[in-house]
Amino acid sequence: MKLTLEAIRACLDGGLPSVVATCAPDGTPNVAYASQVHYVDGEHVALSFQFFSKTRENVLAYPYAQVQVIEPASFRHFRLRVRYLRTETAGPLFEYMKAQLAGIATHSGMDKVFVLRGADIYRVLDIECADPHVPAAAPPPDALIALRRTLDHLGACDDLAQLADRALAALSYGFGIRHALLALLDTQPDNAGPGKTGPADGALYTLASLGYPTSGVGAEVALGEGLIGVAARERMPVRINHRTGDYTYQAALRVADAAAARIPLPVLADAHSQIAVPLVHGARLFGVLYAESEQDAFFGHADEDALVVYGRHVGALMARLAALPDDETAVPAPAVRAPRGTPLAVRYFAHDHSVFVDNDYLIKGVAGSILWTLLNEHAANGRRDFCNRELRRDPRLPLPDFGDNLETRLILLQRRLAERCPQIALEKTGRGRFRLDVTRPLALSTN
């Protein structure tokens, strides 16, 4: 039976070093180690181009090479006859390999040495097993069964908050994932709209998390930064199989404005495996599902495939929920007691719409602006019941005309308040409707 690249994907995760044999124009052979042999598709692999080496000099002159890769669990060796096609120095494949190389570099103690200059793409012409008498490694857990189990636990969801929580909880049943988060894209007004499939810049905000001491709700990730930001910007999955010392991919992912008040991401300080998959439906990107583990090589190729499908399913559910009409009426309001106690000092900073309560940072951006608007309405005329439709029309709020993610921002705000300022609460009273509950007097001020 002819060997396929799919059948040997376990060899292409950077676990054990591969070697590449090339030929100089004068016929002299060359053998060198390859840090990374990356599965591109069923017919292509990409080798990391890090230095101007003899290997590179040779393939540019004579494009035929043989690559030897090893299956980590069995140590079977496979030899691939390949032909060099081209080098990519930007784009999704390059970014994926750059992230993976960061993990491989740390795993092999080469943090300061491995820097990706390009992804050299090769067509695979033939695959040979050098050890046909050696039993194959035991197959990994069936990712399709894991996906099915995950979807069974996800079930149907009525609103975005429920979907976010259940989408994460279901992962533990299906894939055994213990640490994960959902970060949703904050669409920028200038870049959203019909015909524009996504922002050139912007940020993602953590809406829900699983398995961390703090929820990190509201934590921000700049588009293109860290594993989550790269997965969002490139709209592709990114998986790292080893702990990385590269700060770019570490827990302390950079935020859009490093000087601003921020909520830390709740990720593991010492993750050994990480994966980020985009949540997409059609051309629309909703956000990123990020999962991690303390174990090396926790996520295999098949897990990546399955989680990509899961990301699309969750994206489709988000699109369906976003398209549902708002309820016409809210559930009746119960009688409330007048706010009592010491007034809460709520201060608003207009330049970034940040809100501080008793000098503690609460939230910023559009969510901060929404909160400030609601509190002022409440202070002016005692209003408690609001609907999404009126917020969308409110000129005080910096919402884009299209794809405003208002529901996401309200959930974010609701959860942030529940964690940091339970004296102010947002309660859902129907689809597209919510109620403001305030149990302490408020002292509002602006800066």
Q: For residue 32, give the H/E element and its range.
A: strand 29-34
- Report whether 82 contacts 124 (CB < 8 A): yes
Cα–Cα distances in Å, from 283 out to 92, 94, 195, 196? Answer: 16, 21, 10, 9
User: What is the nearest approach in angstroms of another protein to the Cβ of residue 95?
Assistant: 22
**Does position 3 bind another protein by CB under 8 A?**
no
User: What is the nearest approach in angstroms of another protein to the Cβ of residue 24?
Assistant: 9
**Does position 114 bind another protein by CB under 8 A?**
yes
User: What is the nearest approach in angstroms of another protein to the Cβ of residue 139?
Assistant: 16
**Does position 245 bind another protein by CB under 8 A?**
no
- Report whether 31 contacts 20 (CB < 8 A): yes
**Does position 136 bind another protein by CB under 8 A?**
no
**Does position 130 bind another protein by CB under 8 A?**
yes
CB of 56 or CB of 233, closer to another protein: 56
**Does position 23 bind another protein by CB under 8 A?**
yes
**Does position 443 bind another protein by CB under 8 A?**
no
Q: Which of 5, 40, 45, 76 binds another protein (CB under 8 A)?
A: 76
Query: What is the number of other CB atoms lying within 10 angstroms of the CB of residue 149?
Result: 15
**Does position 17 bind another protein by CB under 8 A?**
yes
Q: Which of 1, 2, 25, 27 binds another protein (CB under 8 A)?
A: 27
Distance in angstroms (rounded) separating the CA atoms of residues 74 and 273:
21
Q: Which residues contact 323 (CB under 8 A, 6 or more apart)?
A: none
Q: Which of 3, 21, 93, 345 binds another protein (CB under 8 A)?
A: 21
**Does position 131 bind another protein by CB under 8 A?**
yes
**Does position 284 bind another protein by CB under 8 A?**
no
Six token digits for residue 8: 């040997």
CB of 75 or CB of 247, closer to another protein: 75
Q: Which of 3, 30, 248, 251 binds another protein (CB under 8 A)?
A: 30
E strands present in 214-335: 220-222, 238-240, 273-281, 284-293
Break the chain down into helix, strand, coil percent, rounded to 5. 30, 30, 40
- Report whether 227 contacts 250 (CB < 8 A): no
Number of residues that bind another protein (CB under 8 A): 41
Q: Which of 4, 6, 33, 144 binds another protein (CB under 8 A)?
A: 33
User: What is the nearest approach in angstroms of another protein to the Cβ of residue 75?
Assistant: 4
Residue where the block lists tokens 């070697």: 19
User: What is the nearest approach in angstroms of another protein to the Cβ of residue 447?
Assistant: 51
3-state SS assignment for residue 426? strand
Q: Which residues contact 322 (CB under 8 A, 6 or more apart)?
A: 160, 407
Q: For residue 226, give the H/E element and its range.
A: helix 226-234
Distance in angstroms (rounded) separating the CA atoms of residues 402 and 408:
14
User: What is the nearest approach in angstroms of another protein to the Cβ of residue 13?
Assistant: 13
| Residues of this chain that bind another protein (CB under 8 A) | 16-17, 19-23, 27-33, 35, 50-51, 53-54, 62, 64-66, 68, 72-77, 79, 81, 108-110, 113-114, 130-131, 134, 296
